[in-house]
């Protein structure tokens, strides 16, 4: 029996969506310690999976590994399509757990495309591998034009920068009671439209932001500078998506971000991926004040929701084996 434990990730945005540049996408994000995902597997003669979302991944994994079956159990999970990367973590955790249950190994980065993961951002795979803050190098634009390659016909983008996140930083997660973020064919259509209309000048601004502000901030452990730069990256990305999501942020995230960013205990706020999750950055001393600010931000936006605080995760997914 093998058990894989991993957790959520934040996605601050992409470096480029314009077809005028040589590399497309290029994700920027980091790993969190929670909410967690725990997948357990043991060998069997057929597939027995207790989770409807994990079941399609498990079937693909059996085919990839050429093994007859497995008993797969998802003991902890977090909601899908809220901007925290549950799909990639579930797919890769299932892969590693089933492989080890059958006393073999599987490289998550190599197999991810066959599971339909890593087709745009490499942040989910990178954080599964090693945690921390991750910048990926994107895909060659000539292959990822208005339509991505056929499923599985890509390589996961390489990690071009990674850093440990200071242990005393804490990420406020506000999950409003709204519809889930975009996924599947809806996400594909929205991304295609955004790419067709993308202003290449925004990518130039992001390039300067990444090299002059965001990377120096994480390298020097400057929480205030990092929060401000990550928030700016999100706003620039939002300009690409504005027509697709109803504004720079997906409503009601805009009003939540604005209110949260004004809180003295919070240094930087933004939307993770397509949302609806909003993030804010604080530290261990500011947790109570930041949570209070989070609840006030939700109230000001006129929505209910959950407020969580997560520490950074500077290690990859963990694997435990039992007889």
Q: Please list the pLDDT of the chain residue by residue as tens digits (323 residues).
A: 999 999 999 999 999 999 999 999 999 999 999 999 999 999 999 999 999 999 999 999 999 999 999 999 999 999 999 999 999 999 999 999 999 999 999 999 999 999 999 999 999 999 999 999 999 999 999 887 767 678 778 999 999 999 999 999 999 999 999 987 655 667 778 788 889 999 999 999 999 999 999 999 999 999 999 999 999 999 999 999 998 888 999 999 999 999 999 999 999 999 999 999 999 999 999 999 999 999 999 999 999 999 999 999 999 999 999 86
Total domains in the fold of the chain: 1
**Would you list the DSSP string of 49-74?**
ES-TTHHHHHHHHHHHHT-S-EEEEE
pTM of the model: 0.95
* Contact status, residue 129 vs residue 123, Cβ threshold 8 Å: no
Closest CA to 16 of 28, 33, 4: 28
* Beta-strand relationship, 318-321 and 269-271: unpaired
- For the record, the structure tokens of 314 come out as 């500077």
Instruction: Give the integer Cα–Cα distance in Å for 56 and 118.
Output: 17
Q: What is the residue range of 207's domain?
A: 2-321
Residue 150 has what pLDDT? 80
Pair 174, 305: CB distance under 8 Å:
yes
Token pair 């928030």 is at which residue? 231
Confidence (pLDDT) at 18:
96
Inter-residue contact 38 to 78 (CB < 8 Å) = no
Paired residues of 294 in beta bridges = none
Residue 117 makes CB contacts below 8 A (sequence gap 6+) with: 87, 88, 91, 92, 124, 125, 156
CATH number of the domain within which 210 lies = 3.30.230.120
Cα dihedral across residues 183, 118, 79, 82: positive or negative: negative
Q: Is the separation of the CB atoms in 276 and 178 below 8 Å?
A: yes
């Amino acid at each position: 029996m093998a058990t894989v434990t991993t957790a959520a990730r934040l996605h601050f945005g992409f470096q480029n969506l314009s077809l005028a540049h040589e590399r497309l996408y290029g994700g920027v994000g980091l790993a969190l310690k929670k909410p967690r995902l725990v997948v357990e597997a043991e060998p069997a003669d057929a597939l027995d999976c207790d989770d409807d979302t994990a079941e399609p991944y498990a079937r693909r994994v059996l085919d990839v590994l050429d093994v007859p079956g497995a008993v797969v159990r998802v003991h902890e999970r977090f909601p899908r399509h809220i901007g925290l990367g549950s799909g990639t973590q579930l797919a890769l955790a299932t892969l590693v757990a089933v492989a080890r249950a059958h006393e073999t190994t599987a490289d998550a980065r190599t197999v991810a495309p066959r599971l339909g993961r890593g087709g745009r951002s490499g942040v989910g795979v990178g954080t599964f591998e090693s945690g921390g803050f991750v910048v990926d190098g994107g895909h060659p634009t000539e292959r990822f034009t208005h339509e991505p390659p056929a499923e599985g016909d890509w390589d996961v983008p390489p990690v071009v920068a990674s850093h440990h996140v200071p242990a005393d930083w804490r990420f406020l997660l506000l999950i409003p009671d709204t519809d889930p973020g975009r996924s599947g064919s809806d996400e594909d259509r929205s991304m295609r439209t955004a790419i067709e209309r993308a202003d290449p000048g925004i990518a130039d601004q992001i390039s300067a932001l990444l090299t002059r502000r965001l990377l120096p901030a994480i390298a020097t452990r400057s929480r205030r500078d990092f929060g401000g730069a990550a928030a700016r990256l999100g706003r620039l990305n939002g300009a690409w998506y504005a027509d697709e999501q109803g504004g720079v942020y997906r409503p009601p995230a805009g009003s939540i971000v604005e209110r949260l960013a004004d809180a003295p205990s919070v240094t930087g706020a933004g939307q993770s991926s397509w949302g609806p999750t909003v993030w804010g950055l604080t530290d261990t001393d500011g947790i109570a004040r930041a949570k209070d600010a989070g609840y006030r931000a939700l109230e000001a936006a006129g929505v209910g929701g959950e407020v969580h605080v997560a520490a950074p995760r500077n290690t990859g997914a963990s694997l435990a084996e039992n007889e």
